[in-house]
Structure formats: C-alpha cells, structure tokens
Amino acid sequence: MGYDTPDDVADTLDRAESLVFEVAERRVSESLAGISDSLQTTLDQLESMYGSDTEVVGVPSGYHELDSLLLGLQRSNLVIVAARPSMGKCVAWDTPIVDPATGAVRTAQEVYERGRAGRPVRVLALDDDLRVRSITPSAFVDDGVKPVYKVTTRTGRVVRTTITHPFLTDDGWKPLAEICVGDRVAVPRAIDVEGNDSLPEADVVMLGFLIGNGCLADGSPMMSTASPSVLLELQRCAAKLGVTVRHTSPHDHRLCTPLGRPSPVTTLLRRHGLWKTESRAKHIPDAVCRLPAKQLALFLNRLFAANVRAPYFLAAACCRRWPPGAAAASSASGAWPARSAWLEGPPTARPRRPWRR
C-alpha cells in the first residue's frame, strides 16, 4: 500500500487506519495470572524447545555457541550481547609476541600462562595517537577453540587469526571477514626493542656459524665453509671455547674435543635447544633474541658469513626490526600503522581486487 499509487486516497487512508487499529488490538495486555498456570505454560514451552529434533527452534543469531545455549532467539526475549574492550582480537595460541621488556619472543599461550600465574607481563600496543608503546594487559582470557585463518602478506609475514580479528586498512579497522586479497594492511616498520642479556662473544659467533651452515644432527658438530676468513674466525672462536678444528675435507671442518672430555660446543648447543637438530629444524634461540643490539649485529654478521643463503626467517626471528610473525605480534595487541602489504591467498571467498595506488 505504501509503494502503490492509490486510485482513491480516502479509501487508502481508511484501510491504513484499519490496519493500525488491528495492530493495537493485538497488543500485549497486562493482567494477573496464577503462578501455577504460568509455570506449566513455561515448562511446556521449554520441553517443546529442547525436545525438538532441530538444533535451533528460534531465530538463529549467527553465533553458533550462543545458538546452542539459547536454541536461537525466542519470542518476547530481550537478549543483550556485551563484551569487555578489545574482545574479538583473537589469535592462534602459537602467535609470536615480542616482550618489550627483554626482547624475547614468546607465544600467545606463554604470555597467557605467565599472566594467569601472576607473573609480570608487558606487551606492545597502540595508543590513541597510533603510536606503539609498552603496556600491561588488563586481563588474560582463554577464548576457547575457534576456527582460525592463515593470512600471508606479500612480504611473507604470516598470522593466524579468527575471522573477527581486526586489521588496520586504508579504510580504517576491518575484521578479517571484510578484507579481500589485494587489500593493504598495516604492519610494523620497526619494533624499537633491545635486549639486555649478553652472552660471551665466542658463544655468539659459534651460534651464528653453526646455525648458518653447521651440521648438528650427529657426532661432533661440523661446519662447512670455503672462505679462508670464515675458517680463521672459526678457529679463533673454537680456541676460546677449548676445542680444535679438524679438516675432514677441503670445505668441511669438525669441532673436536680430547677423548673423555665433554665438548663445550655440544654443551652450548644443548643449552640453546639446537643439538641433534636437522637443518630444517634449526631455529633462533630465545637467548639470541634477548641480546643487546651490538651482539645481535655480531650474530647476524656471522650467520650470513657462514651462509649467504641462510633462510630469511632465521635472521628475522631475532632481529627486532623484522621479528618473526611481525604482523602476528602486532595483531595480538592491535595493528601498527607503517609499511603496507598485500594479502596472498583468500581469507574469504571474495574475488581478487586489482591493485591501485
């Protein structure tokens, strides 16, 4: 009636007035009723709802866990959905997060467990001026088991989040569900965090060499290099640790210890969780992430001197300017507005958008 062109305006007004009166007649009237009658009616409704073969007998809310509890939204119900601030920012349990106090890289689960145990925790987050600062989390909440989606930027950064996790885009904050392949998202240009736990120089150099191009899986540790300067540095470092370098081939050099004595190099590798690891399982020890800037630079120098093709993530894992899962760390406490990146792979089923500057 409201969208048609009426032939008779007076007749249309009469019909509209009649419809309004009918609605008024159907209004809920206030009256008193015996509790036994009301209770029996309510029990009958509950039995009918929970005895139904369908999972949702009311109006689906779209939140599966809520629907499983309420069986959907029911008539005459007033449902208020509320949450504490920052709800919806959910990341996977193994998301790496940089500790601004020490430079260490911890997982989201480790941060959660430290906080629940009452231990001091600091994280990086955005303030109102979109500046990164160190804060103390207000609460530590296990958000349960939820589907997570892997998001990869063009620069290779990876984060796994829930579909509602917000990202900072050119158009403001958006949940992952509203982001398309080709959209630009904010990631950190730099994380100005420096560790303060130094290591002996010989330990730093040896770790860089062996992670870069060492064999740690069996027997005594061995390193491969054809560079005379790298070999000279390896020998100098080995002497400080109390081991000798024995050449098993022109390019292979084994780190040996007198029979009956424990190898200081093997002890070093065990201490940092590297002994008996295959090449694909090598990683940057947490102690390296906590190094002061000068020693961190020394480690990276020796890492790439040993192998110029050392995987990028090995260096990125300990370099505060490009930490592992930097986008993941930023997303755990809010994204950081800085270098832009693309998304690769469909976080949703939407088609790819063309890139425009």
Give the confidence band of 87 by pLDDT, cuts at 50, 70, 90. low
Is 135 a member of any domain? yes
Over residues 206-212, the mean pLDDT reads 94
For residue 245, pLDDT over 70 is answered with: yes
Over residues 252-281, the mean pLDDT reads 91
Instruction: Report the distance separating Cα 230 and Cα 302, nearest Å.
Output: 8
| H helix and E strand count, the chain | 11, 15
CATH number of the domain to which 291 belongs: 3.10.28.10
Rounded to 5 degrees, φ, ψ at 193 are -125, 135
Is 223 a member of any domain? yes
The reported pLDDT for the residue numbered 27 is: 58
Distance from the Cα of residue 4 to its chain's centroid: 54
Q: Supply the mean pLDDT for the chain.
A: 78
For residue 105, pLDDT over 80 is answered with: yes
Task: Kindly state whether residues 156 and 205 are assigned to the same domain.
Answer: no
Task: Kindly state whether residues 53 and 114 are assigned to the same domain.
Answer: no
User: Pick the residue with more confidence: 127 or 304?
Assistant: 304
Task: Kindly state whether residues 56 and 126 are assigned to the same domain.
Answer: no
The reported pLDDT for the residue numbered 339 is: 29
Number of domains into which the chain is organized = 3
User: What's the pTM value of the predicted model, to 2 decimals?
Assistant: 0.60
For residue 242, pLDDT over 70 is answered with: yes
The model's pLDDT over 120-169, given as tens digits with 9 standing for 90+, comes to 999 988 787 888 889 898 888 777 788 889 999 888 888 999 888 889 89
Nearest Cα neighbor of 212 from 324, 319, 307 is 307
Residue 284: what residue type? I
Instruction: Report the distance separating Cα 238 and Cα 202, nearest Å.
Output: 8
DSSP string of 177-205, one letter each residue: GG--TT--EE--S-----------HHHHH
3-state secondary structure of 47: helix
CATH number of the domain to which 185 belongs: 2.170.16.10
Is 180 a member of any domain? yes
Residue 311 region by backbone torsions, left for phi larger than 0, else alpha for psi between -120 and 50, else beta: beta
Domain carrying residue 59: 46-82
Task: Kindly state whether residues 309 and 329 are assigned to the same domain.
Answer: no
Over residues 10-20, the mean pLDDT reads 78
Is 145 a member of any domain? yes
Instruction: Report the distance separating Cα 42 and Cα 49, nearest Å.
Output: 11
Strand partners, 325: none
Over residues 11-33, the mean pLDDT reads 71
Is 54 a member of any domain? yes
User: Pick the residue with more confidence: 313 or 214?
Assistant: 214
Residue 81: count other Cβ atoms within 10 Å of its Cβ.
Answer: 7
Is 19 a member of any domain? no
**Domain end marker among 32, 60, 82:** 82
Nearest Cα neighbor of 327 from 137, 151, 135 is 151
Nearest Cα neighbor of 186 from 315, 318, 85, 326 is 326
Task: Kindly state whether residues 262 and 168 are assigned to the same domain.
Answer: no
The reported pLDDT for the residue numbered 114 is: 93
The reported pLDDT for the residue numbered 146 is: 83
For residue 318, pLDDT over 80 is answered with: no
For residue 354, pLDDT over 60 is answered with: no
User: Pick the residue with more confidence: 156 or 174?
Assistant: 174
Over residues 16-33, the mean pLDDT reads 69
Is 24 a member of any domain? no
User: Pick the residue with more confidence: 227 or 46?
Assistant: 227
Residue 129: what residue type? D
**Domain end marker among 82, 104, 134:** 82
Contact 150, 91 (CB under 8 A): no
The reported pLDDT for the residue numbered 272 is: 95
The reported pLDDT for the residue numbered 239 is: 95
Strands 343-344 and 149-153: antiparallel
Task: Kindly state whether residues 61 and 104 are assigned to the same domain.
Answer: no
The model's pLDDT over 43-82, given as tens digits with 9 standing for 90+, comes to 887 787 777 777 777 888 777 777 777 778 877 777 777 7
Give the confidence band of 86 by pLDDT, cuts at 50, 70, 90. low
Is 23 a member of any domain? no
Task: Kindly state whether residues 263 and 174 are assigned to the same domain.
Answer: no
Please, which contacts does 102-109 make with residues 24 or more away whose CB atoms are closer than 8 Å?
102/195, 102/196, 102/197, 102/290, 103/193, 103/194, 103/195, 103/196, 103/289, 103/290, 103/291, 103/320, 104/195, 104/286, 104/289, 104/290, 105/286, 105/289, 105/317, 105/318, 105/323, 105/324, 108/332
Over residues 253-260, the mean pLDDT reads 90
Contact 140, 116 (CB under 8 A): yes
3-state secondary structure of 166: strand
Which strands, in side-by-side order, build the sheet including 252-256? Answer: 214-215, 222-224, 252-256, 244-247
Task: Kindly state whether residues 100 and 118 are assigned to the same domain.
Answer: yes
For residue 238, pLDDT over 60 is answered with: yes
Task: Kindly state whether residues 154 and 253 are assigned to the same domain.
Answer: no
Burial of 220 (0-12, 13-18, 19+ CB in 10 A): middle
Task: Kindly state whether residues 189 and 205 are assigned to the same domain.
Answer: no
Q: Pick from 8-22, 124-138, 222-236 the range whose average pLDDT is largest.
A: 222-236
Task: Kindly state whether residues 312 and 332 are assigned to the same domain.
Answer: no
- Percent of the chain past pLDDT 90, that is, above it, reads 32
Task: Kindly state whether residues 175 and 205 are assigned to the same domain.
Answer: no
Residue 71 region by backbone torsions, left for phi larger than 0, else alpha for psi between -120 and 50, else beta: left
Over residues 10-16, the mean pLDDT reads 78
